[in-house]
Amino acid sequence: MTVATGRKGRILKEDVKLFIKQTLAEGVVSTGGAGIPSIPAVDFSVFGGIEIQKLSKIKRLTGQNLTRVWLNLPMVTYHDEADITEMEAFRIALNSEKAKDDIKITGLLFIIKALVAAMKQFPSFNASLSSDGESIILKQYFNIGIAVDTPNGLVVPVLRDVDSKSINQLAIELAEKSAKARLGKLLPNEMQGGCLTISSLGGIGGTAFTPIVNAPEVAILGVTRAKMQPVWNGKEFIPRLMLPLDLTYDHRVIDGAEGARFMAVVKQNLSDIRRLLL
Protein backbone atom coordinates (compact mmCIF):
# COMPACT_ATOMS: atom_id res chain seq x y z
CA MET A 1 0.00 0.00 0.00
CA THR A 2 1.33 3.47 -0.93
CA VAL A 3 1.62 6.00 1.94
CA ALA A 4 1.05 9.59 0.86
CA THR A 5 3.49 11.90 2.63
CA GLY A 6 2.60 15.17 0.93
CA ARG A 7 0.43 17.90 2.35
CA LYS A 8 -3.30 17.16 2.45
CA GLY A 9 -2.72 13.51 1.45
CA ARG A 10 -0.92 14.24 -1.81
CA ILE A 11 1.26 11.48 -3.30
CA LEU A 12 4.79 12.74 -3.92
CA LYS A 13 7.40 11.51 -6.39
CA GLU A 14 9.30 9.96 -3.50
CA ASP A 15 6.18 8.01 -2.51
CA VAL A 16 5.95 6.49 -5.99
CA LYS A 17 9.64 5.54 -5.97
CA LEU A 18 9.30 3.91 -2.55
CA PHE A 19 6.24 1.95 -3.69
CA ILE A 20 8.06 0.62 -6.76
CA LYS A 21 11.10 -0.29 -4.69
CA GLN A 22 8.99 -2.19 -2.16
CA THR A 23 7.02 -3.97 -4.88
CA LEU A 24 10.16 -5.15 -6.66
CA ALA A 25 11.67 -6.28 -3.38
CA GLU A 26 8.59 -8.43 -2.71
CA GLY A 27 8.81 -9.95 -6.20
CA VAL A 28 5.28 -8.93 -7.14
CA VAL A 29 4.83 -7.86 -10.74
CA SER A 30 1.42 -7.22 -12.25
CA THR A 31 0.95 -9.15 -15.50
CA GLY A 32 -2.08 -8.15 -17.55
CA GLY A 33 -3.82 -6.99 -14.39
CA ALA A 34 -3.55 -10.44 -12.82
CA GLY A 35 -1.13 -9.37 -10.09
CA ILE A 36 0.66 -12.72 -10.24
CA PRO A 37 3.92 -12.95 -8.28
CA SER A 38 6.93 -13.48 -10.51
CA ILE A 39 9.34 -16.39 -10.03
CA PRO A 40 12.53 -15.10 -8.36
CA ALA A 41 15.71 -15.19 -10.44
CA VAL A 42 18.20 -17.87 -9.43
CA ASP A 43 21.93 -17.97 -10.15
CA PHE A 44 22.21 -21.64 -11.09
CA SER A 45 25.95 -21.35 -11.74
CA VAL A 46 26.62 -21.51 -8.00
CA PHE A 47 25.48 -25.16 -8.06
CA GLY A 48 27.59 -26.25 -11.04
CA GLY A 49 28.25 -25.70 -14.74
CA ILE A 50 25.47 -24.25 -16.91
CA GLU A 51 24.84 -23.32 -20.55
CA ILE A 52 22.41 -20.61 -21.63
CA GLN A 53 20.46 -21.05 -24.86
CA LYS A 54 18.09 -18.44 -26.27
CA LEU A 55 14.53 -19.57 -26.92
CA SER A 56 13.51 -19.56 -30.57
CA LYS A 57 11.09 -16.87 -31.69
CA ILE A 58 8.39 -19.51 -32.17
CA LYS A 59 8.79 -20.78 -28.60
CA ARG A 60 8.75 -17.25 -27.18
CA LEU A 61 5.56 -16.34 -29.03
CA THR A 62 3.94 -19.68 -28.22
CA GLY A 63 4.77 -19.24 -24.56
CA GLN A 64 3.26 -15.77 -24.49
CA ASN A 65 0.06 -16.98 -26.16
CA LEU A 66 -0.28 -20.03 -23.89
CA THR A 67 0.21 -17.87 -20.80
CA ARG A 68 -2.45 -15.44 -22.02
CA VAL A 69 -4.88 -18.30 -22.68
CA TRP A 70 -4.16 -19.99 -19.33
CA LEU A 71 -4.89 -16.76 -17.46
CA ASN A 72 -8.08 -15.88 -19.36
CA LEU A 73 -9.89 -19.15 -20.15
CA PRO A 74 -11.56 -21.42 -17.59
CA MET A 75 -10.59 -24.73 -19.19
CA VAL A 76 -11.85 -28.26 -18.58
CA THR A 77 -10.28 -31.44 -20.01
CA TYR A 78 -12.44 -34.51 -20.64
CA HIS A 79 -10.67 -37.88 -21.13
CA ASP A 80 -12.11 -40.86 -22.98
CA GLU A 81 -11.21 -43.73 -25.35
CA ALA A 82 -12.46 -44.66 -28.81
CA ASP A 83 -12.51 -48.17 -30.26
CA ILE A 84 -10.66 -47.84 -33.60
CA THR A 85 -10.20 -51.55 -34.35
CA GLU A 86 -12.23 -51.50 -37.57
CA MET A 87 -10.96 -48.08 -38.58
CA GLU A 88 -7.35 -49.23 -38.33
CA ALA A 89 -8.08 -52.36 -40.36
CA PHE A 90 -9.66 -50.21 -43.07
CA ARG A 91 -6.70 -47.79 -43.02
CA ILE A 92 -4.22 -50.65 -43.46
CA ALA A 93 -6.30 -52.05 -46.34
CA LEU A 94 -6.35 -48.65 -48.07
CA ASN A 95 -2.59 -48.25 -47.77
CA SER A 96 -1.98 -51.74 -49.14
CA GLU A 97 -3.67 -50.65 -52.36
CA LYS A 98 -1.42 -47.61 -52.78
CA ALA A 99 1.74 -47.49 -54.84
CA LYS A 100 5.09 -47.35 -53.05
CA ASP A 101 5.52 -43.60 -53.58
CA ASP A 102 1.93 -42.64 -52.81
CA ILE A 103 1.19 -40.65 -49.66
CA LYS A 104 -0.13 -43.05 -47.05
CA ILE A 105 -3.32 -42.60 -45.05
CA THR A 106 -2.82 -41.96 -41.34
CA GLY A 107 -5.30 -42.32 -38.51
CA LEU A 108 -5.14 -38.55 -37.98
CA LEU A 109 -7.06 -38.03 -41.24
CA PHE A 110 -10.00 -40.08 -39.99
CA ILE A 111 -9.89 -38.17 -36.71
CA ILE A 112 -10.20 -34.91 -38.67
CA LYS A 113 -13.26 -36.20 -40.49
CA ALA A 114 -14.84 -37.58 -37.31
CA LEU A 115 -14.23 -34.28 -35.55
CA VAL A 116 -15.82 -32.17 -38.29
CA ALA A 117 -18.90 -34.40 -38.39
CA ALA A 118 -19.31 -33.85 -34.63
CA MET A 119 -18.76 -30.08 -35.01
CA LYS A 120 -21.65 -29.95 -37.46
CA GLN A 121 -23.85 -31.61 -34.85
CA PHE A 122 -22.58 -29.33 -32.05
CA PRO A 123 -22.10 -25.82 -33.54
CA SER A 124 -20.79 -24.34 -30.29
CA PHE A 125 -17.54 -26.24 -30.87
CA ASN A 126 -17.16 -24.38 -34.17
CA ALA A 127 -17.40 -20.96 -32.58
CA SER A 128 -15.47 -18.19 -30.85
CA LEU A 129 -16.45 -16.00 -27.93
CA SER A 130 -16.82 -12.30 -28.76
CA SER A 131 -14.23 -9.96 -27.24
CA ASP A 132 -16.81 -8.51 -24.84
CA GLY A 133 -17.88 -11.99 -23.72
CA GLU A 134 -21.53 -11.26 -24.50
CA SER A 135 -22.07 -13.53 -27.51
CA ILE A 136 -20.57 -16.39 -29.51
CA ILE A 137 -19.62 -16.20 -33.18
CA LEU A 138 -20.78 -19.34 -35.00
CA LYS A 139 -18.65 -20.24 -38.03
CA GLN A 140 -20.02 -21.74 -41.22
CA TYR A 141 -16.66 -23.08 -42.40
CA PHE A 142 -14.59 -25.97 -41.05
CA ASN A 143 -10.87 -25.34 -40.76
CA ILE A 144 -8.80 -27.68 -38.59
CA GLY A 145 -5.43 -26.78 -37.10
CA ILE A 146 -2.85 -29.55 -36.72
CA ALA A 147 -0.10 -29.02 -34.15
CA VAL A 148 3.24 -29.91 -35.76
CA ASP A 149 6.47 -30.45 -33.84
CA THR A 150 9.40 -28.70 -35.54
CA PRO A 151 13.07 -28.15 -34.60
CA ASN A 152 12.20 -24.55 -33.66
CA GLY A 153 9.06 -25.30 -31.69
CA LEU A 154 5.38 -26.07 -32.10
CA VAL A 155 3.47 -24.56 -35.03
CA VAL A 156 -0.14 -25.09 -36.13
CA PRO A 157 -0.80 -25.16 -39.88
CA VAL A 158 -4.49 -24.95 -40.75
CA LEU A 159 -6.28 -27.26 -43.18
CA ARG A 160 -9.13 -25.29 -44.74
CA ASP A 161 -12.63 -26.49 -45.69
CA VAL A 162 -11.87 -30.04 -44.60
CA ASP A 163 -15.55 -30.98 -44.81
CA SER A 164 -15.42 -30.68 -48.61
CA LYS A 165 -12.17 -32.62 -49.13
CA SER A 166 -11.56 -36.34 -49.41
CA ILE A 167 -9.24 -38.34 -47.18
CA ASN A 168 -6.68 -38.52 -50.00
CA GLN A 169 -6.84 -34.76 -50.60
CA LEU A 170 -6.32 -34.10 -46.91
CA ALA A 171 -3.40 -36.55 -46.82
CA ILE A 172 -1.60 -34.63 -49.57
CA GLU A 173 -2.33 -31.22 -48.05
CA LEU A 174 -1.27 -32.29 -44.56
CA ALA A 175 1.98 -33.79 -45.85
CA GLU A 176 2.79 -30.58 -47.76
CA LYS A 177 2.05 -28.24 -44.87
CA SER A 178 3.83 -30.42 -42.33
CA ALA A 179 6.95 -30.40 -44.52
CA LYS A 180 6.78 -26.61 -44.86
CA ALA A 181 6.34 -26.29 -41.10
CA ARG A 182 9.47 -28.31 -40.35
CA LEU A 183 11.45 -26.22 -42.83
CA GLY A 184 10.16 -23.01 -41.27
CA LYS A 185 8.49 -21.94 -44.53
CA LEU A 186 4.86 -21.67 -43.43
CA LEU A 187 3.29 -18.32 -44.28
CA PRO A 188 1.32 -16.46 -41.57
CA ASN A 189 -1.99 -16.97 -43.39
CA GLU A 190 -1.37 -20.74 -43.40
CA MET A 191 -1.56 -20.69 -39.59
CA GLN A 192 -4.69 -18.55 -39.28
CA GLY A 193 -8.44 -19.14 -39.42
CA GLY A 194 -8.59 -22.41 -37.50
CA CYS A 195 -11.88 -23.52 -35.94
CA LEU A 196 -10.54 -26.32 -33.74
CA THR A 197 -7.06 -27.80 -33.24
CA ILE A 198 -5.78 -31.37 -32.95
CA SER A 199 -2.64 -32.06 -30.95
CA SER A 200 -1.43 -35.62 -31.51
CA LEU A 201 1.29 -37.36 -29.51
CA GLY A 202 0.39 -40.73 -31.01
CA GLY A 203 3.74 -41.17 -32.69
CA ILE A 204 5.56 -40.68 -29.39
CA GLY A 205 3.41 -42.33 -26.74
CA GLY A 206 1.58 -41.40 -23.58
CA THR A 207 -1.82 -42.32 -22.21
CA ALA A 208 -3.35 -38.87 -21.59
CA PHE A 209 -2.53 -35.17 -21.36
CA THR A 210 -4.29 -31.81 -21.03
CA PRO A 211 -3.81 -29.72 -24.19
CA ILE A 212 -4.35 -25.96 -23.89
CA VAL A 213 -7.04 -24.38 -26.08
CA ASN A 214 -5.65 -22.47 -29.06
CA ALA A 215 -7.69 -19.28 -28.51
CA PRO A 216 -9.77 -17.72 -30.01
CA GLU A 217 -10.89 -21.30 -30.68
CA VAL A 218 -12.99 -22.82 -27.90
CA ALA A 219 -11.69 -26.42 -27.92
CA ILE A 220 -8.72 -28.63 -28.73
CA LEU A 221 -8.54 -32.42 -29.12
CA GLY A 222 -5.52 -34.26 -27.77
CA VAL A 223 -4.60 -37.70 -29.10
CA THR A 224 -2.12 -40.22 -27.67
CA ARG A 225 -0.97 -43.67 -28.75
CA ALA A 226 -3.59 -46.37 -29.35
CA LYS A 227 -3.05 -49.77 -27.76
CA MET A 228 -4.72 -53.18 -27.66
CA GLN A 229 -6.84 -53.73 -24.56
CA PRO A 230 -9.23 -56.43 -23.35
CA VAL A 231 -12.79 -55.09 -23.62
CA TRP A 232 -15.82 -56.79 -22.07
CA ASN A 233 -18.60 -57.32 -24.64
CA GLY A 234 -21.13 -58.70 -22.16
CA LYS A 235 -19.98 -62.31 -22.46
CA GLU A 236 -16.22 -62.26 -22.68
CA PHE A 237 -13.15 -60.08 -22.97
CA ILE A 238 -12.04 -59.45 -26.53
CA PRO A 239 -8.96 -57.59 -27.81
CA ARG A 240 -9.78 -54.11 -29.17
CA LEU A 241 -7.56 -51.25 -30.32
CA MET A 242 -8.40 -48.31 -28.06
CA LEU A 243 -7.42 -44.71 -28.80
CA PRO A 244 -7.09 -42.25 -25.85
CA LEU A 245 -8.70 -38.86 -26.53
CA ASP A 246 -8.40 -35.68 -24.45
CA LEU A 247 -10.83 -32.83 -25.14
CA THR A 248 -10.08 -29.46 -23.55
CA TYR A 249 -12.75 -26.77 -23.92
CA ASP A 250 -13.56 -23.22 -22.83
CA HIS A 251 -16.11 -23.63 -20.04
CA ARG A 252 -17.58 -20.19 -20.76
CA VAL A 253 -18.93 -21.52 -24.06
CA ILE A 254 -19.23 -25.28 -23.50
CA ASP A 255 -20.56 -26.98 -20.39
CA GLY A 256 -19.64 -30.44 -19.13
CA ALA A 257 -22.68 -32.26 -20.48
CA GLU A 258 -22.20 -30.83 -23.97
CA GLY A 259 -18.50 -31.72 -23.89
CA ALA A 260 -19.32 -35.32 -22.97
CA ARG A 261 -21.98 -35.58 -25.70
CA PHE A 262 -19.60 -34.14 -28.28
CA MET A 263 -16.92 -36.68 -27.36
CA ALA A 264 -19.48 -39.49 -27.53
CA VAL A 265 -20.25 -38.57 -31.14
CA VAL A 266 -16.54 -38.35 -32.03
CA LYS A 267 -16.08 -41.83 -30.54
CA GLN A 268 -19.04 -43.21 -32.50
CA ASN A 269 -17.67 -41.78 -35.73
CA LEU A 270 -14.25 -43.33 -35.12
CA SER A 271 -15.62 -46.68 -34.00
CA ASP A 272 -17.77 -47.01 -37.11
CA ILE A 273 -16.53 -44.70 -39.88
CA ARG A 274 -19.55 -45.60 -42.02
CA ARG A 275 -21.36 -42.97 -39.91
CA LEU A 276 -19.34 -40.33 -41.76
CA LEU A 277 -21.38 -41.13 -44.86
CA LEU A 278 -24.66 -40.19 -43.17
pLDDT above 90 covers a percentage of the chain that reads 76
Q: Where in the chain are all domains bearing CATH 3.30.559.10?
A: 75-277
Tally the C-alpha atoms within 13 A of residue 149's C-alpha that lie toward its C-beta: 6
Burial class (CB in 10 A: 0-12, 13-18, 19+), 99: exposed
Top pLDDT among 260 and 23 is at 260
Q: Find the range with the poorest average confidence among 20-29, 92-101, 124-133, 203-212.
A: 20-29
One-letter amino acid of 131: S
Top pLDDT among 57 and 210 is at 210
pLDDT above 70 covers a percentage of the chain that reads 91
Mean pLDDT calculated for residue range 96-113: 94
Average pLDDT, the chain: 91
Instruction: Give the pLDDT of residue 3.
Output: 64
Query: pLDDT tier at 37 (50, 70, 90 boundaries)?
Result: confident
Mean pLDDT calculated for residue range 3-24: 71
pLDDT, tens digit, 9 for 90 and up, residues 26-36: 544 444 445 67
pTM: 0.84
CA distance 106 to 243: 14
Query: According to CATH, what is the number of the domain 75-277?
Result: 3.30.559.10
One-letter amino acid of 210: T
Mean pLDDT calculated for residue range 134-150: 96
Top pLDDT among 41 and 220 is at 220
* 73 has a pLDDT exceeding 90: yes
User: Which residues have a catalytic role annotated?
Assistant: 195, 251, 255
Radius of gyration of the chain from Cα atoms?
Answer: 24
Mean pLDDT calculated for residue range 150-159: 93
- Give the residue among 249, 263, 216 at the shortest CA–CA distance from 76: 249
CA distance 277 to 22: 65
Q: How far apart are the first and last CA of the chain?
A: 64
Compute CA distances 78 → 12, 231, 255, whole Å: 53, 21, 11
Mean pLDDT calculated for residue range 161-166: 96
Instruction: Give the pLDDT of residue 223.
Output: 97
Q: Find the range with the poorest average confidence among 104-108, 199-203, 234-238, 263-267.
A: 199-203
Instruction: Give the pLDDT of residue 266.
Output: 98
126 touches 138 (CB < 8 A):
yes
Helix, strand, coil abundance in the chain, percent, nearest 5: 40, 20, 40
pLDDT, tens digit, 9 for 90 and up, residues 180-211: 999 999 999 999 999 999 999 988 889 999 99
Query: pLDDT tier at 25 (50, 70, 90 boundaries)?
Result: low
